[in-house]
Amino acid sequence: MEHSVTNSSPTCEDYELVLRELATLRAEMVIEADRSRSLLDQIHPCNQESARNLLHYLALRHHDLRPLQLRLAALGLSSLGRAESHVMATVDAVLDVLHRLAGHSAEPALSESGSIDFATGERLLVEHTETLLGPASPGRWVRIMVTMPSEAADDYRLVHDLLQQGMECMRINCAHDDAATWTRMIENLRRAERSLGKTCRVIMDLGGPKLRTGPLEPGPAVIKIRPHRDVYGRVTAPARVWLFAATKPQPSPSPSNACLPVSESWLSRLQQGEEIQLTDARGSSRTLTIVDLTDEGCWAEANQTTYVISGTVLKHEHGVAKTKHREAAVDEIPATENYLTLYQGDQLIVTRNLELGRPATHDSAGQVLTPSQIGCTIPDVFNDVRAGQSIWFDDGKIGGVIEKVESTRILVRITQTRLSGAKLRSDKGINLPESNLSLNALTDKDLEDLIFVAQHADVVEMSFANRAEDVEMLQQHLKRLGGHEPAIVLKIETRRGFENLPDMLLTAMRSPCCGVMIARGDLAVESGFERLAEVQEEILWICEAAHVPVIWATQVLETLAKEGMPSRAEITDAAMGHRAECVMLNKGPHVLHAVQTLDDILRRMQSHQTKKRAMLRELRLATHTPSAKVDPNT
């Protein structure tokens, strides 16, 4: 029968039992660090203590500590729940108290070469964070990183205002734009730094081997012109149609519902108030009314839904008698973007090459003749996938199971979509969480971009880092380029990257400075949405044990940045970001507002909690405790 501490006063036997168990764990921690001595010798000197602490933590967490934690808590002792940054010091402090409580006299002082005390553990994390991400803003420990939109290259005021509102890290995504654009972004930042007397890190994100869907056949070349209607179907605002000369294309001077290219000579004879007659693509008779004429084109309005294709004939009647018809055919209309509509149970063919994909075809009874088909951008994955493995598309919106792998295609059975179906377009992400993909971590484009990054960036983010060998490869390329070496941030966005995080960290710690980004988009798809919270907690613990700064990323205040109003869940999620050393915001038209909101949230949370430790500042609710009732008879 397992001995446990009861509610009665603990005995020496209780203390001895817990002491022996904890001492055994400590011995294993020492042995594990000694076993890894050759590995520790490769660690950069400024990371030596942190690497040993990480090994101690991994040895400790190799066990299920919950029963021991309950016994320690029952004895009124630390349950090791906040030991990450100073593992051995925490264990030794508890052992020292246990020795005293058990009545042991003159116990030898416990020591371990290279172990860190409480203050040193917290100091190292602060130092490493400042080296990687720069100084913190007054009153806010957690940094704010902002992904630059393309407009930041030419909009100095945007960069200036972001820096003024609290941005400490400018992130440039190398998957977008080019070196000339990145240069102008950085120049705007340097100018803003001089103006405001602030500093900001430049962080550049390598695109990595992102697997995406291939191109699709063009959709139908048709324009749908639709007026606004109320719930009763009554027109509340006509559709606005811009007519312009096909030989001299001119964009509409204000927002339009449709733009139609026509003959310049026909266009010049139009008069305000005239009606244009046409038969649309469905064979329906429709009318457009000319409401304004300009030198670049003219405006027409439509009060009925109209489908226009290339060659649709437009007729107008000129003159008082309105007897002479003038005709013009609509010039070439660009094809619309195509997509596949997929439902649960559908079959999807994923081809090895980038031939144009196409939607499914059906017979007259609606039965599928040929399933939907789409290509993928990295055909080498066909060598690594197996039947029975899962596959996900478009950030997890569509899920399936691989039924068969052939030399030129993969047959997928769709298992998860919305009940109403889902649209799959080109250039959407593909995830294969159960497949052991042997992809190069650095693509040819990454190696080209790395030349610019090594010259201009403070930090380089490695996308889809999966193995220690991937980190070594990046380190080697940076050394080959010579000169200034930017710090490395490992983006953890795959299941393999998560599972190999300790090895990758110990490899990254051979460099003077490193960090980790929790890229929650792909990581949620790879690990399962229901497990994401658990996974990100484990990453935070491991990185704190290594004194490695963490960047909390993907969809933070995304609705606010894009639409101007956050959801309640987003605010709660952003507040959780205080557990990391940096929070990343993505671009959007309201990103400045998002920076202001995030700054306010992080400042408020800082007074309540640091990492896992609750900060017991004065609680406002405590000032509203009910007054004790006084008995008037006393």
* 132-190 tens-digit pLDDT: 999 999 999 999 999 999 999 999 999 999 999 999 999 999 999 999 999 999 999 99
- Position 628 scores a pLDDT of 46
- Helices 156-165 and 179-196, interaxial angle, to 10°? 50
Check if CATH label 3.40.50.2000 holds for domain 126-209+440-609. no
Rounded to an integer, what distance in angstroms lies between the CA atom of residue 446 and that of residue 526? Answer: 23
CATH architecture of the domain formed by 340-431 = Beta Barrel (2.40)
Question: What's the fold here for domain 222-329?
Answer: M1 Pyruvate Kinase; Domain 3 (2.40.33)
Q: Is the dihedral of CA 207, 208, 213, 217 positive or negative?
A: positive
What pTM does this model have?
A: 0.84
Rounded to an integer, what distance in angstroms lies between the CA atom of residue 398 and that of residue 386? Answer: 19
Task: For residue range 615-633, list pLDDT tens digits in order.
Answer: 556 655 566 555 544 455 5
Q: Given a cut of 90, is residue 55 above it in pLDDT? A: yes
Residues 6+ apart with CB under 8 A from 611: 82, 84, 540, 544, 579
Rounded to an integer, what distance in angstroms lies between the CA atom of residue 46 and that of residue 597? Answer: 35
List, by residue range, all CATH 2.40.33.10 domains of the chain: 340-431
**Chain Cα centroid distance, residue 334:** 33
Average pLDDT score, the chain: 90
Q: Given a cut of 50, is residue 590 above it in pLDDT? A: yes
- Position 2 scores a pLDDT of 45
List, by residue range, all CATH 3.20.20.60 domains of the chain: 126-209+440-609
- Position 323 scores a pLDDT of 47
Rounded to an integer, what distance in angstroms lies between the CA atom of residue 496 and that of residue 522? Answer: 12
- Position 107 scores a pLDDT of 57
Are residues 532 and 564 in contact, defined by beta-carbon separation less than 8 angstroms? no
Q: Got the DSSP string for 394-444?
A: TTTTEEEEEEEE-SSEEEEEEEE--TT-EEE-TT-BEE-TTS-----SS-H
Q: Is the dihedral of CA 593, 168, 119, 49 positive or negative?
A: positive
Q: Given a cut of 50, is residue 320 above it in pLDDT? A: no
